[in-house]
């Protein structure tokens, strides 16, 4: 690619020329960085590559996942290493799925100012302020549902003026919901009991002891549950 097609970006305040079609992550690599920190799944699921940047002529601090955000001319980049926001110490079975769990584990939850900085900064477009409001009301199910797409990158906690650890509160609520509040799957518990009682062993052994040809026949003749 000819030089005139490249655009200038600034990594840690040093200029590099990179193709404009790259994501921030690929631009870092194009510039010669072999990444160790700030890289993970490279597909938007793991939250390792939270990046803050500014663009020319704009006073605002911007954010994005390096793996999913494209470079822009005159972009000033800094990757933040994982933000220290310690997990509260708890064992799930010792907690109740209500406000008491949050107050015991993250008492600072009530310091939330509802300023909305967390919502603005979330690369998943989660309304973090909204689920924090649910948390302050002790609505565990509400937090669990509204925070579900969280990838725990930590940007909300990094920017929070009230020193909240929103994403840690969110996973606690999701686990409390999953364990205590979600409706019970009776068919699952029935099947587990059947397996423990050995009720499925005979049918399994029948397939296990078939010859390869018999097994193939059974496979290609098996009925398929309709849509």
Partner 1 sequence: MGYPQYMRDFIAKVEATRPRRLQETFPMLTAQEKQALLEKFHPDYIREAMRELRVGPNKGTRTPHELADLLEARPLLDPRAVNLDNVDYETDVLIIGGGGAGSAAAIKAREAGAKVIMATKLRHGDANTMMAQGGIQAADKENDSPAIHYLDVMGGGGFTNDPDLVEALVKDAPLVIQWLESLGCMFDKQPDGTLITIHGGGTSRKRMHSARDYSGAEIMRTLRDEVRSWPEDIQVIEFAPAVELLMDTNGRVAGAVLMNLETNEYLVVKAKCTIIATGGSGRLHYQNYPTTNHYGATGDGLVMAYRVGARLAFIDTMQYHPTGAAFPEQIVGLLVTEKVRGLGAQVVNIDGEQFVFPRETRDAESAAIIRECVERGKGITTPSGIQGVWLDSPMIEIIHGPGTVQRELPAMVRQFGRFGIDITKDPMLVYPTLHYQNGGIAIKPDCTTDIPGLYVAGEASGGVHGRNRLMGNSLLDVCVFGRRAGITVGQHFREVTLGKLTLSHLDRWEQELKDAGLDPKVRAPILLPDYTRRKGV
Please give the residues from 16 up to 75 whose contact with partner 1 meets the rule CB under 8 A. 21-23, 26, 29-37, 39-46, 48, 68-70
Burial (CB count <10 Å: 0-12, 13-18, 19+), residue 69: buried
Q: Which stretch binds partner 1 (CB under 8 A): 52-60, 86-94, 109-117, 127-135?
A: 86-94
Please, which residue, 105 or 159, has the CB nearer to partner 1?
Answer: 105
Distance between CA atoms of residues 161 and 37, nearest Å:
26
- Out of 10, 82, 127, 133, name the contact with partner 1 by CB under 8 A: 82
In angstroms, the CA 131 to CA 149 distance is: 12
Indicate which single residue of 78, 92, 113, 115 sits in contact with partner 1 (rule: CB under 8 A): 92
Cβ atoms of 179 and 205 within 8 Å: the answer is no
Q: Write each residue from 149 to 188 as x if it is in contact with partner 1 (CB under 8 A), else as -, in one continuous string.
A: x-xx------------------xx-xxxxxx--xxxxxxx
Contact status, residue 39 vs residue 82, Cβ threshold 8 Å: no
- Count residues contacting partner 1 (CB under 8 A)? 74
């Amino acid at each position: 690619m000819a030089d005139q097609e490249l655009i200038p970006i600034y990594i840690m305040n040093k200029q590099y020329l990179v193709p404009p079609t790259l994501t921030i992550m690929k631009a870092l690599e194009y510039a010669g960085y072999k990444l160790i920190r700030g890289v993970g799944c490279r597909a938007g699921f793991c939250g390792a590559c939270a990046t803050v940047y500014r663009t020319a002529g704009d006073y605002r601090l911007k954010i994005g996942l390096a793996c999913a955000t494209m470079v822009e001319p005159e972009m000033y980049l800094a990757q933040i290493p994982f933000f220290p926001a310690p997990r509260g110490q708890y064992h799930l079975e010792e907690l109740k799925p209500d406000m008491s769990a949050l107050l015991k584990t993250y008492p600072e939850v009530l310091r939330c100012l509802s300023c909305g900085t967390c919502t603005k900064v979330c690369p998943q477009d989660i309304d973090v302020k909204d689920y924090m409001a649910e948390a302050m009301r002790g609505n565990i199910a509400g937090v669990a549902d509204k925070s579900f797409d969280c990838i725990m990158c930590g940007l909300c906690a990094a920017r929070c003026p009230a020193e909240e650890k929103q994403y840690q509160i969110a996973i606690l609520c999701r686990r409390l919901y999953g364990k205590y509040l979600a409706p019970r799957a009776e068919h699952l518990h029935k099947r587990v009991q059947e397996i423990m009682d050995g009720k499925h062993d005979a049918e399994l052994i029948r397939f296990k002891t078939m010859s390869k040809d018999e097994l193939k026949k059974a496979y290609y003749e098996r009925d398929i549950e309709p849509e």
